[in-house]
Amino acid sequence: MHPAVSFPPTPHGLPLRWVLRARVLVLLSLIFQHGFPVGTRVLWCLNWLDVALAACFGADLVLALLRAETRRRAFGLRRFEYFLLGLLLLLITLGWALPPAPVEGLLNFLHLESAEALAFNLVKLYLLISLCIQLLLASQRLFERGVRPELILAGSFATLIVIGAFLLVLPNSSAKLEKPIGMVDALFTATSAVCVTGLGVRDTGSDFSSFGQMIILALFQLGGLGIITFVAFLSVFSSRALPVPQMVGFSQLINAPTYSDLKRQIVGILLVTGAIELAGVLLIFQFLPGEGDPLGRLKWSLFHAVSAFCNAGFALQPDSLEPYRAEAGLMCTFMGLIILGGLGFPALLELLGYRVTRARLFRRIGFFRRLHAGQIPARLSVQTRLSGWVTLLLLAGGCAAFWVLEFNHILRDRPIAENFLIATFQSVTPRTAGLNSVPIQKLQDATLVFLMVLMVIGASPVSMGGGIKTVNFGILLLALRAMVTRRERVEVFGRRIPVKTLFAALSVFVLYVISAGVGIFLLALFDPDLRPQDRAFEVISALSTVGLSTGITAELSTASKLVLCVAMFVGRVGPISLVLSVFQSRHALNYEYPEEEVVVG
């Protein structure tokens, strides 16, 4: 274990106990306002309490800056909080300084009654983000104490699931106060959202209120990117000197070899995610058929764009995207988001750097010039090339197989263009996306088996998706080819795959098979009346964090729902990471046994 390295204390202007009490009051105030039905008078009092607490946070920041010996260092240690406070003051000032016409237009768009209500909502947003920043900064101590990265990864997902389940149990999370969300259903929904799966025991659009839907959106956004990404961002871009154990832990989780790569990769992940999701929102808003409330259309576009890119599989309709299966622009947008979300951040960032470093326009921009430290990569890595080729083969083969299997069944009597769109979409979404354009329960058994194969393979490494991963699948096929052709090494694209990588791929596959077998056995034990193919499909969908279902999820017993929760958690964290978080040898083996041949097959 690495020795503990202490951070310098965070400067505070007010006494620390006052600041801590203010944070607790913020948490209680926000939960009470949004989680429970409150009267107008109580809401008015809580709004002004929020203003007082925001003023307390602001006073703490100002006094800390004034009393600091080195103001530049004090500002650097809390730069995100200062930026957030400045943004709040700027927005409130603009709200009062702008002419009445644009302010009224904004209020009408947001369905707010007055500028005062807008200011109160800005204060609440400031308090919420400020509280989240403090929680993320507090989690840095785990890295400082030398806790294993795998354990932190599993613990962050588990903590987020517990918090999400608690929020979804609150009365205001339910669309009907007289029918609150039960604890088991809340836990299942939170697990499904954090693990970006999409399996549901409640209809997201009708059973959850707007507050509940926004919680689910936040859960699968955080679950897709991972809390560790945000912790690493705040740590790397603060003025604190990163301890070596913390830098090593972040590098392992973000898949970055060096400190400079860590910074570039974190920024790249957040920028690419923001850009892709923003483009997705705009395209979905544009292609969404029909007319309606602009704010409602924007919420729908935002929810589904994030759900598609995070491969979360949640939709605000009980029949997912079936009503829009003939909308070419909309469905192509969803497919693009799903593919990009499942390709993996290392591959995305490398492809981005590989292309833009060759374009004069982008090479003049500092960020893109530094993306590869000023060097144009001579070739794409084996990781990226293998991810891309396996993805393309699965998409093409999946489209053709689905069309052939369902040509005389669910695709019968449909236009060719619509059939092609459906077949292409259904070859994209089983690889951990979970959205569907046709009813899964009406597909033939052979098609369900084929979809299970796609679900097992899943997405690419370090992506939003699950499964054994495309690169692992490709390595296993290459190993099979090497064995058939009597080669002693696994080779591809002019490179040799290390033996430890082959062992890792085999381990992932074996652990996946064992986990799926245990899950199917337990569902057969707790729900023996279900069809075997439905049980297998449900477990593999949960373990691969896909979210497709034959319609049995809501009918499962409580024990089976908990089994699927565990399967989703294992699938999101990863079988190997989960095993290493519990069992890890602390002693390296520095000896070898004699070799002996064993007959297999």
> Is the predicted pLDDT of residue 363 greater than 80, yes or no?
no
CA distance 569 to 185: 16
What's the pLDDT band for 142 if we cut at 50, 70, 90?
low
Tokens 């799966």 found at: 197
Which stretch of DSSP H or E encloses residue 361?
A: helix 360-363
Question: With contact defined as beta carbons under 8 Å apart, do 512 and 567 qualify?
Answer: no
Q: What is the mean pLDDT of the chain?
A: 84
How many domains, in total, are found in the chain? 2
Task: Identify which of 232, 317, 297 has the alpha carbon closest to the alpha carbon of residue 266.
Answer: 232
Residue 316: exposure state from Cβ atoms within 10 A (0-12, 13-18, ≥19): middle
Question: With contact defined as beta carbons under 8 Å apart, do 237 and 591 qualify?
Answer: no
Task: Identify which of 494, 542, 596 has the alpha carbon closest to the alpha carbon of residue 195.
Answer: 542
Is the residue at 546 inside a domain? yes
What's the pLDDT band for 1 if we cut at 50, 70, 90?
very low
Write the CB contacts of 244 (distance below 8 Å, at least 6 apart in sequence): 2, 5
Is the residue at 503 inside a domain? yes
Using one digit for the tens of pLDDT, what is the confidence trace for 383-399?
888 988 999 999 999 99
> CA neighbours within 13 Å on the CB side: how many for 539?
23
> 69-83, 147-161, 265-279, 447-461: which has the highest mean pLDDT?
447-461
Domain span at 483: 377-581
Is the residue at 151 inside a domain? no
Q: Lowest-confidence range among 117-121, 312-316, 374-378, 543-547?
A: 374-378
Residue 107: exposure state from Cβ atoms within 10 A (0-12, 13-18, ≥19): middle
Per-residue pLDDT averaged across 23-41, rounded? 90
Domain boundary among 111, 138, 165: 138
Which stretch of DSSP H or E encloses residue 92?
A: helix 79-97
- % of the chain residues with pLDDT over 70: 84
- % of the chain residues with pLDDT over 90: 44
- Residues in a beta bridge with 208: 174
Is the residue at 343 inside a domain? no
What's the pLDDT band for 213 if we cut at 50, 70, 90?
very high
The tokens describing 21, both together, are 């009490």
> Is the predicted pLDDT of residue 257 greater than 50, yes or no?
yes
CA distance 464 to 466: 7
Angle between helices 149-169 and 558-573 (to 10 degrees): 140
∠ at Cα 405 (401, 409), nearest 5°? 145
For position 65, what pLDDT does the model report?
86
Per-residue pLDDT averaged across 122-139, rounded? 87
Which stretch of DSSP H or E encloses residue 382?
A: helix 382-406
Domain boundary among 105, 138, 171: 138
Per-residue pLDDT averaged across 75-100, rounded? 87
> Is the predicted pLDDT of residue 2 greater than 50, yes or no?
no
Per-residue pLDDT averaged across 286-301, rounded? 89
Per-residue pLDDT averaged across 287-297, rounded? 86
What's the pLDDT band for 4 if we cut at 50, 70, 90?
very low
What are the residue ranges of helices labelled H in 98-201?
Answer: 100-110, 115-138, 140-144, 149-169, 183-194
> Is the predicted pLDDT of residue 260 greater than 80, yes or no?
no
- For 339, other C-beta atoms within 10 Å of its C-beta total 19
For position 209, what pLDDT does the model report?
93
Is the residue at 385 inside a domain? yes
Which stretch of DSSP H or E encloses residue 84?
A: helix 79-97
The tokens describing 127, both together, are 């308090």
Write the CB contacts of 143 (distance below 8 Å, at least 6 apart in sequence): 152, 231, 235, 243, 245, 246, 249, 250
What are the residue ranges of helices labelled H in 458-585?
Answer: 470-484, 499-526, 532-543, 558-573, 575-582
> Is the predicted pLDDT of residue 114 greater than 50, yes or no?
yes
Is the residue at 188 inside a domain? no
Task: Identify which of 219, 306, 233 has the alpha carbon closest to the alpha carbon of residue 265.
Answer: 233
> Is the predicted pLDDT of residue 5 greater than 60, yes or no?
no
What's the pLDDT band for 253 if we cut at 50, 70, 90?
low
> Is the predicted pLDDT of residue 374 greater than 60, yes or no?
no
> Is the predicted pLDDT of residue 218 greater than 70, yes or no?
yes
Query: Alpha-carbon Rg of the chain, whole angstroms?
Result: 25
CA end-to-end distance (rounded Å), the chain: 42
Using one digit for the tens of pLDDT, what is the confidence trace for 507-528?
889 889 999 999 999 999 999 9
Domain boundary among 138, 170, 200: 138
CA distance 238 to 256: 19
Specify whether the backbone of 551 is left (phi greater than 0), alpha (psi in -120 to 50) or beta: left
For position 344, what pLDDT does the model report?
82
Question: With contact defined as beta carbons under 8 Å apart, do 562 and 577 qualify?
Answer: no
The tokens describing 382, both together, are 């084996």
Using one digit for the tens of pLDDT, what is the confidence trace for 529-576?
999 999 999 999 999 999 899 989 989 999 999 999 999 999 888 765
What's the pLDDT band for 237 if we cut at 50, 70, 90?
low
Residue 592: exposure state from Cβ atoms within 10 A (0-12, 13-18, ≥19): exposed
Is the residue at 341 inside a domain? no
Chain centroid to CA 455: 18
> Is the predicted pLDDT of residue 30 greater than 60, yes or no?
yes
Check residues 91 and 13 and name the one with the higher pLDDT: 91
Question: With contact defined as beta carbons under 8 Å apart, do 572 and 223 qualify?
Answer: yes
> Is the predicted pLDDT of residue 258 greater than 50, yes or no?
yes
CA distance 342 to 337: 9
Is the residue at 21 inside a domain? yes
CA distance 477 to 457: 12
Check residues 213 and 231 and name the one with the higher pLDDT: 213
To 10 degrees, the CA torsion angle through 346, 347, 352, 354?
Answer: 100
The tokens describing 476, both together, are 């296993």
